[in-house]
Structure 1
Amino acid sequence: MKPLVRTAALQGYIELSRSLGLDPQTLLRRVGLDAAALAVQDRWISAVACVQLLELSAAESGREDFGLRVAEYRRLSTLGPIGLVVREEPNVRSAVELLLRHQDMYNEALHTRLVEAQGLASLKVTVDPGERMEIRQATELAVAAYHRVVRGFMGGRWQPLSVCFTHRAPADTGTHRRIFGPVVEFEREFNGMVFYAADLDTANALADPQLLTYARQFFDAIASPKDDAAAVDRVRELIEVLLPTGNCSVEQVAHSLGVDRRTVHRWLAESGESFSSLLGSTRRELAEQLVASPRRSLTEISGLLGFSSPSAFSRWFREQFGCSARDWRAQHA
């Protein structure tokens, strides 16, 4: 099961692409995504597609600093609900540890460790989309995002001792040095940053101790769905995102929600649903919307609905609607 990321990981992508003369919709389609999907930050998309998009955009724009530039659009709100709790944590250490403990809530391809030794703290970042591929842009985006979070707590003048990347330096390091300062280094042993461990104990001046309890209670309530309707909605949203990947299974949905498949089955059963029934109804609703629009070919639609071939989609559509997709489109034009 390959990892997913929240669409919020691409916050600012469309604006940046346009500013560099790119057509974001065309690039999104080339990796199997759609600009409309980015409008909802809490949707999940393929980590492979996200990483491919960043690399493709860097190549098309000729900007080796593309990932870094995307990171400049990051805010705590980009993290979703966990961002509310992080903002109220009492110090940098608790904020960072919270982010690392719940990485799967915002990016399943991100694996980060905090290592302390001899008065130094190393934040080591690994991006694993589940396939062997170029990850330079995604890695620089992730490191820059953590840098923004820590600097947000420490103050704008704070600087780590070093910011490290395993890959080679770009031809122009101007953006890297503007963001990280003169401490950026390439061809090092890990990706991440090193700073004084004592910095982790810096108090968060923005935190309100009275709000922290409420923020944590709110976060605990939404970390895993308890309300039956909310659980069904979350499963349905994941089905919509996973269908175009061709890997829409109850196992993948359960993995994305951080539970086992039996828990997903139980949530759905309590609402009178099953995974197959929800998959069928969601696919049918999407088919009605997609086939009615003449913008997409039927072959493209079959892929978006997760069918292995156009012929399989044609058979399914006739069984569901009593006519061919082509005839249905003509009737509803």
Structure 2
Amino acid sequence: MRAAITQAHGDRDQIRLVDDWAEPVAGEGQVVVSVAACAVNFHDIFTRRGMPGIKIPLPVVVGSDIAGTISVVGAGGEGWAVGDRVLIDPISHDGKPGMLGETADGGRAERIAVGTGHLIRVPYNVTLEQAASLPLAYGTAHRMMITQGRIQAAEKVLVMGASGGVGAACVQLAKMAGCEVIACASSEAKLARLKALGADHGINYASESILEWVKRQYGKPAVYGGGGVDVLVNFTGGDTMKESQRCLTLGGRLLTCGATAGYDVGIDMRFLWTFEHRMIGSNGWSRADLVALLDLIAESRLDPVIDKILPLEETAEAERMLENREVVGKVLIRP
């Protein structure tokens, strides 16, 4: 079977295309899925580089966002049939650690064997490419913005790092909820695409201070109310947290689902208590988040942003595009 494997930790030259990877077999309670599309995520890059404290069985087939068609149903696979279109939730949510594409083979291959607990039916009017765009980016964004953050219509929502997969999803979900959306990105070209997705305003953080823009647009946050934004999405971390706090209005909410620029951040406690801010963490997604997203697509209320679809042979190029931040939305691999 053809697969793009990550053979060792390191640079992109550790990604290798092979045509003799072991054919998956459906065990008890499993099915084999013919992969139609697999999204590329920064998590794949972190897996390839190596993450502290997480041991990966190498070589491994990376790729966690997977959609396809069932080709084999194993014993105990009642309720599923050959030809069923499915989204594979990379986490089974049954309390067992690990994720497909990390501690077990993922979707950068022609086929994959998974337990039926990973399967979610794809509605007939949702493409498999749309479905494959969902778990890590849109699932994470939905849980952070809707399930945990409870954004409301007319709120001012600022999204840092808005051009990536999670960021673009946040922009779309906030606009869908009726919010006034401010998207932050590093170029005017990216901001133009984000405005086409529904962002009302754009901040080029490469040339302008986010805080100064917020104060100019909405006024400096005041302890008696007024000024600033209601919700700020920051999954960047690093040295951005204090500036983020200063952008929030009285009672504002800071939402986070990660720390791509570093987890050891500084927090100004004076702003936290004086402005009665709420800092809300969100970890991944639930099955309910993915089902809700599929329903939104089926109802034509959401269309995941797919920047490029590349063949399996160009897997390393797909990762390069993400690493160089040339992408708005998702890049998919089609085995």
Higher Rg of the two aligned structures: 1
Q: TM-score, normalised by structure 2?
A: 0.24
Greater fraction strand: 2
Greater fraction helix: 1
Q: TM-score, normalised by structure 1?
A: 0.24
Q: Which has the higher contact order (CA 8 A, sep 6+)?
A: 2
